[in-house]
Structures are given as C-alpha cells and as structure tokens.
C-alpha cells in the first residue's frame, strides 16, 4: 500500500474542478439515449477513484483515451445485431399493468432484465482485480453493459407496464410534435431542458447536475444514494424507485392522444435530472467498489474532472485544486 493509497485510506480527497467552457459544434440533434447515457457516464467518470479510473482506462479501447462516455450508448447500437440479440431484453423491466411494484422473481424471469444484467456484469467485473476472470467473458463489454444498464434502470419508464411496453405505445404530443410517453422520458424532457435552460449544450447541463449534488439541492442526499450493502441486490432498489416514479409521475394523468406541455415538463424535469444524477453517482460507486475494493466509493467529494476527448469540443479549462478530508 503506497503513500498515495494510504492518503486515500485516510479519505483525503483530491477535488479537482475543471470549469470547462465548451464551444460546441455538433452535427444534428443527439437522441436522449445518447445524451442521457453520456451524461450518466461522464458524471460517474468524474467521481472515480484512481484504481477504478485505471481499470476503466485499461479496459477501454486505446483510442478513446479512457473516455467511458464515448461508448456508453454502444449497447443500444448493437442490440439488434444477430450476435447480440440476447442483450435486447436486458434494457428494461416489464411489470404487470398498474401493479406499481417490482418483484424480481415475477418480473425478471431467467434474469433476463436490466436488474439481472447489472448483476451479471457486476459479477463478471468483480474478477478483474484478482485476475480470475472467466475467459468466456469479455470484460470490456461487461464494463460497457454495466455502465449503460445503470443508466437504463434509472429511467423510470424503463421499469414500466407490460401491455404498453413502458409507455412506448402511448402515442401523444410533446408540445407541438408527435411522440410517445416512453420517448418523453427517454429524450423529450432532456432536449427541452437543454434548449430552454442550457443553450443546447450537454456539457452545461451535465455541470448543472453535478453542481446540484456536489453543493446544491441534492448534496444531503448523495450519501443515501450511494448506500449499498450488496452490489448484487441494490439494483432491486433502483428498479423499485423507477416503477414508483413511473406510476406517480410518468403515467399519472396521461392518456393516449393528450398533448403534454409546460405543466408536465415543469413538474417532471427535476425528476429526470435527479435520476440522471443518481445513475451517475451509483455507477461510480459500483466501479469504485468493483475495482477498488468494498470500502471504496463512500467519499462524497471526489470530483476529478478530466478534459473529455471530444473532437467536437474546444475546451478552455480553469483548474481549481484543493484537498479536503471526510470522516
């Protein structure tokens, strides 16, 4: 255990904050799946301790320079390929209509749901540290799947009702254009928030979310978000939260053919942002514990913000470094 490691044991935290001003030139609009997943993964990556950061960098293809978010949507891109057809049911959970509960044995038959998938890939990755990984498993893929599915399980409508496919068949209007209830939660709310409040800049939105848990409205909640006695059973809790939100906020008052606009947006937007924050914080907690051992992942302020390698962005960075101690 070297000096740096010892410092970490004392919970000395390097809190490095890059305030990045991005000038952005993205071609066309990005889908939520891309934006929601990228923000989740960037939030997580900024919270990784040195061991997890190293493992992630080792597992990712070289040309990404350790930028996890670049591949966080990969599982959505390959789900229809023949070779990966088995992954298709792993993005969601169907629960009985109007039950508003999640029951693993009832809703995740043969582990084929997003909760089972998180457990599966967590178990595979837990062998990384001791070098006993099963050669049948590709740990690069396991990392990408875990990172993606941690996002999906936090999207409330990914734990929705069976007959409407998590709101996918509930056609309606979002302001003036056609959409459906699932898509409103996947993408529309985020795109509207980006447009109305963040200059259509995903980095600005991600930073606003990070500010709200590093010293804003969610600061006091982060510790409870990260509470987890057993990495393999905590996804049950996340799925239960999602179906509860789906019932209370997703489906509530919504009928086929309705137009959803300001009222729905204003009341649901904060929930979407909180779920993205929780997904990111919890993904970091998983990776810190998987790669760094069980006692890692409990310090609140460990923001190590890397300069993301993104061809489309020019970053100007201002770096503020300070050390703080917790406990």
Ligand X SMILES: *[C@@H]1O[C@H](CO)[C@@H](O)[C@H](O)[C@H]1NC(C)=O
As measured in angstroms, the least distance from the Cβ of 298 to ligand X is 23
As measured in angstroms, the least distance from the Cβ of 189 to Zn ion is 17
Task: Look at the block and give the residue holding tokens 């068949």.
Answer: 169
**Residue 91 interacts with Zn ion (CB under 5 A)?**
yes
Q: Cα separation of 46 and 62, whole Å?
A: 19
DSSP string of 26-70, one letter each residue: -SSPPPHHHHHHHHHHHHHHTT--HHHHHHHHHHS-GGGTT-GGG
As measured in angstroms, the least distance from the Cβ of 125 to ligand X is 10
Dihedral angle sign, alpha carbons of residues 143, 53, 33, 126: positive
As measured in angstroms, the least distance from the Cβ of 92 to Zn ion is 8
Q: In terms of Cα–Cα distance, which of 12, 7, 9, 8 is closest to 326? A: 12
Decide which of ligand X, Zn ion, none touches 152; Cβ closer than 5 to 8 Å per partner kind. Zn ion
Residue span 140-179 as binding mask against ligand X, x where in contact by CB under 6 A, dash where not: xx--------------------------------------
Q: Cα separation of 258 and 156, whole Å?
A: 20
As measured in angstroms, the least distance from the Cβ of 115 to ligand X is 10
**Residue 39 interacts with ligand X (CB under 6 A)?**
no
Name which position in 120, 122, 278, 288 contacts ligand X (CB under 6 A): 120
Decide which of Zn ion, ligand X, none touches 212; Cβ closer than 5 to 8 Å per partner kind. ligand X
Retrieve residue 156's tokens: 């409330």
Options 5-13, 163-171, 205-213, 235-243: segment touching ligand X (CB under 6 A): 205-213
With contacts defined by CB under 6 A, how many residues of the chain interact with ligand X? 17
**Residue 152 interacts with Zn ion (CB under 5 A)?**
yes
Contacts with ligand X in 124-143 (CB under 6 A)? 137-138, 140-141
Q: Cα separation of 182 and 185, whole Å?
A: 5
- List 20's β-bridge partners, or say none: 317
Options 154-162, 176-184, 212-220, 287-295: segment touching ligand X (CB under 6 A): 212-220
Q: Is 253 exposed, middle or buried (0-12, 13-18, 19+ CB in 10 A)?
A: exposed
Q: Do 202 and 39 meet the contact criterion of CB atoms below 8 Å apart?
A: yes
Retrieve residue 315's tokens: 């970053």
What residues make contact with Zn ion under the rule CB under 5 A? 76, 91, 152
What residues make contact with ligand X under the rule CB under 6 A? 86, 90, 111-112, 116-117, 120, 137-138, 140-141, 208-209, 212, 216-217, 273
């Amino acid at each position: 255990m070297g000096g740096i490691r010892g410092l970490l044991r004392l919970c000395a935290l390097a809190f490095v904050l890059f305030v990045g001003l991005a000038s952005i030139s993205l071609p066309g609009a990005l889908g939520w799946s891309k934006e929601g997943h990228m923000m989740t993964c960037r939030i997580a990556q900024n919270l990784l301790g040195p061991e997890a950061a190293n493992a992630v960098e080792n597992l990712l293809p070289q040309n990404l320079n350790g930028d996890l978010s670049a591949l966080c949507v990969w599982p959505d891109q390959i789900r229809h390929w023949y070779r990966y057809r088995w992954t298709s049911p792993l993005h969601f959970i169907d629960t009985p209509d109007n039950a508003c509960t999640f029951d693993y044995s009832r809703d995740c038959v043969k582990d084929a749901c997003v909760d089972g998938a998180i457990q599966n890939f967590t178990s595979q990755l837990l062998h990384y540290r001791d070098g006993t990984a099963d050669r049948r498993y590709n740990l690069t893929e396991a990392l990408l799947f875990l990172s993606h599915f941690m996002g999906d399980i936090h999207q409330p409508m990914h734990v929705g009702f069976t007959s409407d496919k998590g709101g996918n068949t509930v056609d309606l209007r979002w302001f003036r254009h056609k959409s459906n209830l699932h898509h409103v939660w996947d993408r529309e709310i985020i795109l509207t928030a980006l447009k109305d409040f963040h200059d259509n800049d995903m980095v600005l939105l991600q930073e606003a979310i990070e500010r709200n848990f590093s010293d804003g409205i969610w600061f006091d909640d982060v510790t409870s978000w990260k509470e987890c006695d057993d990495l393999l059973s905590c996804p049950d809790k996340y799925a239960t939260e999602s179906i509860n939100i789906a019932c209370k906020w997703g489906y509530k008052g919504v009928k086929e053919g309705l137009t959803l606009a300001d009222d729905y947006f204003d009341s649901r937007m904060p929930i979407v942002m909180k779920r993205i924050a929780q997904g990111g914080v919890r993904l970091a907690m998983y990776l810190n514990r998987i790669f760094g051992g069980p006692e890692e992942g409990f310090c609140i302020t460990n923001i190590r913000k890397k300069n993301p390698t993104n061809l489309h962005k020019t970053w100007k960075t201002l770096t503020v470094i300070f050390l703080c101690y917790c406990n």
